Chain A
Amino acid sequence: MRIKCPLCGERDRREFYYKGAAIDLARPAPDAGDVAWDDYIHNRENPAGRTKDLWQHEMGCSAWLVVERNTVTHEIYGVELAENVKRGMK
């Protein structure tokens, strides 16, 4: 598996650290309520298909990335700097 880092270019998977679902970027407001916080902390989708994950280019440029990939075919649809994704959410 190879991931195309927006800064470094295409790199081997071993340079990256896997964090988990990109839902981490959508932190609820402090007063969003128990249901929203329960969802944010505990509940994760487990899709057979498209998913968005957070990866860190740990051995490379250290940037956090959002990788959209397919868990069935291993196809990678796109990689973005988490910084830019977060900025787009505001």
Chain B
Amino acid sequence: MAELIAKTPCDGLLPITSETVSLTELTPSAITSFMPYKGREKAASTALKKACGMALPGPNEASGTEGARAIWSGRGQCFILDTGVPADLATEGAITDQSDAWAVMQLAGAGAQDVLARLVPVDLRLAAFKPGQTVRTEMQHMMASITRSGDTSFDIMVMRSFAKTAVHDLHEAMKSVAARG
């Protein structure tokens, strides 16, 4: 029988570092999308809190802590990372396993926001975008989810098939920011 070896989306691509900024791959143990049924948002939030420890995040918000997080990912949808989602939550909303569908990266270090400023048409400076906030936006023509995970770090999700392009574009921007000093 063939021996199959699982590869992470950014296998062989990361980590990379440029001056003060580094890009590393994050490998959440699970990624699940959760879409509450119409009119069930409140019950869904209560059920999610009971099952996974965090409430349903509102638009542009992320909830939970390292280990089990919920990231708002669009109208009526959030991604639940790092923790399994009990099947009985299916009475409140649609659950889809997306664990293998996304490349997740962390861009960290002084100047990380300057790197993203070259690729993303949203103001991601600390004054406008605080830890725990998230945006669904485009990163150099790729649909992306960007969450501020710390004062100088961002968690970036792109579709798995874009992993190589995303790493390339981020690396080019990192080099460009570094070259300016």
**Any A CB within 8 A of the CB of B109:** no
Binds A, one of B133-141, B149-157, B170-178: B133-141
B121 touches A8 (CB 8 A): no
The answer to whether the Cβ of B59 comes within 8 Å of any Cβ in the partner chain is yes
In the complex with contacts A59-B143, A62-B75, A8-B136 CB distance below 8 A: yes
Q: Are A9 and B75 CB-contacts (below 8 A) given A59-B136, A60-B136, A61-B136? A: no
Interface centre among A11, A58, A61, A62 (most CB of B within 10 A): A61
Complex-state Cα separation, A61 to B138, whole angstroms: 11
Q: Decide yes or no whether A14 CB sits under 8 A from chain B.
A: yes
B60 interface residue (CB < 8 Å to A): yes
Q: Which residues of B contact A34 (CB under 8 A)?
A: none
Contact at A11–B122, with CB atoms within 8 Å? yes
Residue A38, interface by CB 8 Å: no
Within 113-156 of B, Cβ neighbours of A (below 8 Å) are at 121-122, 135-138, 143
Q: Which of B59, B74, B138 contacts A15 (CB 8 A)?
A: B138
Task: Place the interface of chain B in its size category.
Answer: 10 to 19
Interface residues of B in 25-71 (CB under 8 A from A): 59-60
- Which residue on chain A has the smallest CB distance to residue B138? A59
Chain A residues whose C-beta falls within 8 Å of the C-beta of B135 in the assembled complex: 8, 60
The A1-33 residues at the B interface (CB cut-off 8 A) are 7-9, 11-12, 14-15
Distance to closest chain B CB from A84 (angstroms): 12
A63 — which chain B residues lie within 8 A by C-beta?
74-75
Contact B122 A7 (CB under 8 A): no
CB distance from B41 to the nearest CB of A (A): 13
Q: For residue B138, which residues in chain A have a CB less than 8 angstroms away from its CB? A: 14-15, 59
Given known A8-B59, A8-B136, A14-B138, contact A61–B121 (CB-CB < 8 A): no
A58 to chain B, nearest CB (A): 8
Minimum CB distance partner of A12 in chain B: B121
Shortest C-beta distance, B154 to chain A (Å), equals 17
Q: Which residues 61-80 in A have Cβ within 8 Å of B in the complex?
A: 61-63
Contact partner, B59, options A11, A58, A59, A61, Cβ 8 Å = A61
Query: What residues of chain B lie closer than 8 Å to A7, measured between beta carbons?
Result: 59-60, 75
B contact residues vs A (CB 8 Å cutoff):
59-60, 74-75, 121-122, 135-138, 143
A contact set with B: CB distance below 8 Å? 7-9, 11-12, 14-15, 58-63, 81
Known: A60-B135, A61-B59, A61-B74. 8 other contacts (CB 8 A): A7-B75, A9-B60, A15-B121, A15-B138, A59-B138, A60-B74, A60-B137, A63-B74
